[in-house]
Structures are given as C-alpha cells and as structure tokens.
Structure 1
C-alpha cells in the first residue's frame, strides 16, 4: 500500500493536497500562541491528529468507497511521521516502536474526540482537549473546543466532491475561540 504513495496520479495529488492543507492548518501559529498548545513535536503531532480526526469524522457517514479517502490520509500521515522521526535522528530500530505508540495515541484521540462530539456535551470535548492536547486542565480548552465544533460543522457542510478534489478549508483560528 505504501508504494502507492510514490506513484503520480490524480488520487495521490488529491491526498497530498488534503494532507498539506491539514498540516498547514495544524501549524497555524494561533494554536500555539493563543490556545495553549505547546510548540513542540508533541504539540504539533496533537494538532495534526486533531485535524485528521476532523476530516475522518466528516467522512465516517460516507459510503465505504468514499471513506477510502480517509484511509489514504491516515497512511500518508503515518508515512510522514515515520519520515519525520528519522529526520529527527531516531534510530531505525526504534522508529517502529515510536510509530506504534503514535498509532495507539491516534486511535485513543479519535475515540475520545468522536465520543465527545457525539455526546453533545461541551465539557466532554473540553476535557478531551485539555487532557490530550494541552496536557492539563486549562482555560484555553473551551476556546479550542469551540474551534473544533466550528470546524466539524464546516466540514459537515462541505460536499464530498470538494474533498475528492483535494479542496478543504477550516475556520479561522482566532484568540478566544471565535471562528
């Protein structure tokens, strides 16, 4: 499956475009400056996971063949994480163990965020964000949770054809969680 990432075709370009937009949004300085996200490798990982989750959350109600887009994004994310660990100097023998831990973290976050959004209880999402992204209860959790709810709503309204065409947009990230 990973060898498919190296072929140049429309599907690969779409996935790269979507992933690039996700990473760009994840690196928005406002998250780190105004919302309490640590500007560290871990903080950046958490933001990529959060934004991949938002897209997967959008795709979960689609037909199975359309959800393959999410699997391709997941594959590219972990390919990128593997490459990033190696660039950071993590020994080749330790990369698989680190990737496994990241995978477990990813699935835990997806479940926590999905359960929190499904509950409709604002505090549940705030607690999941405080625990996973901020590392502790913090005032910024409510602002970041408001951003997540706005992004989920925006993506929910986005036609699948936009995603399939590699087009995605996220709400503006503002201080105080206004979008």
Structure 2
C-alpha cells in the first residue's frame, strides 16, 4: 500500500456524511421534543438520530444494487465518526472515548435490529413498544407518543423505500415531515 492510499477517501464517504446529515436534520425536528415530549437530552437526541439513521441504513442495505450496502456502511461510519468527535468536544477523556463509542454502537445496533424487525413485520405495536423502551426509557404499555413516533417511523420507512438509489449515491435523500395530527400506529 502506497502512502497515497492513506489519504484516499473510502467509497461513498462524502455521500455517507451527507445522508447522515439529512438523518440528523430530520431527527432535530422540534415536533419530536414538543408534541411527543422526547427528552431533549443527550440520550433523547441520540435515540432520534439513531432511529432515523437505522431507517436510512435499512433502506440502503435492502437495495438490490450492491452499492446500497456500501453506502449503508458509509452512513454508519459517518454516524460513529460524528459520535467520536462530539464526545471529544464534550470533554470526554481520550482514554474513554473508544469505550463510550463502543457502548453507543452496541445500543444503536440493538435498537436498529428491533426497529427493523417490527418494520419488516409491519407491526406498529411492536415498533411502538421498542421506541417506548428506548426513547423514553419506560416500561409497560407504550403511550400515545410512542405510537405516534412509530407511525412516523413507518411512514418514513415507506417514503425512503420509494426513493431511488442514484440520488442517495450523491448524498441526497428526503425524510417526511412528521404528521402532527397522525393517528396512532
């Protein structure tokens, strides 16, 4: 490997960061914090970003074009590069950043699997239960906010499924705006 290989970008790296940025922007919609009372905390924001990134990765990974899976990995890499940077900016010690990022990766992975299983089954109730556990850190039956968030996630998954891969390869995607009067999932 030559020295130039160290400075070469990975395939789809720029598009991965652009798509990750779109997921973050969608997750920052005030509706989640106002109408649904998602905690406006590090954990609450992480969970909303994680939900939107999981929806995006699911869409890319299931594309018949093999570039979709490569782009999904680029989005994942962008997310955790950003998490690393944010932890460092918050003053987390260099010695513990790696451990914290690993715990975040494990949390994201478990959540993404639960969300994907519910979405693939078309099970809004299971998705609401997973969101209730993760976003609000609550037990028991999910409330109306969890069902509204599940409905939004199902609509977002459907909207992402209709978007062609080519614009995504350029870093372009659209998440639907939350429907403030949406019924429970």
Structure-2-length-normalised TM-score? 0.87
| 1:126–1:145 contact (8 Å) kept in structure 2 | yes
CA distance in 1, matches of 2:10, 2:105: 27
Which structure 2 residue ranges, 5 or more long, are not aligned? none
Q: Give 2:84's match in structure 1, choosing from 82, 85, 91.
A: 82
Which structure 1 residue ranges, 5 or more long, are not aligned? none
Q: Give 1:100's match in structure 2, choosing from 99, 102, 126.
A: 102
| 1:13–1:166 contact (8 Å) kept in structure 2 | yes
Q: Deviations over 1:109-137 (max 9, x none)?
A: 01100111122222101101111112223
CA distance in 1, matches of 2:43, 2:17: 22
Matched, 1:155 2:148: no
1:22-61 matches, within 5 Å, as: 22-61=23-62
Judged with a 3 Å threshold, the aligned counterparts in structure 2 of structure 1 residues 10 and 95 are, in CA distance, closer, same or farther, namely closer
CA distance in 2, matches of 1:162, 1:142: 31
Runs of 4+ in 1 over 4 A off after TM superposition: 6-10
> Match of 1:115?
117
Matched, 1:72 2:65: no
Q: Deviations over 1:40-86 (max 9, x none)?
A: 01111111110111111111222333210010111111010011011
CA distance in 1, matches of 2:61, 2:15: 18
| 1:17–1:166 contact (8 Å) kept in structure 2 | yes
Q: Give 2:93's match in structure 1, choosing from 69, 74, 91.
A: 91
Q: Tell me the C-alpha RMSD between the 2 structures.
A: 2.1
CA distance in 2, matches of 1:16, 1:159: 18
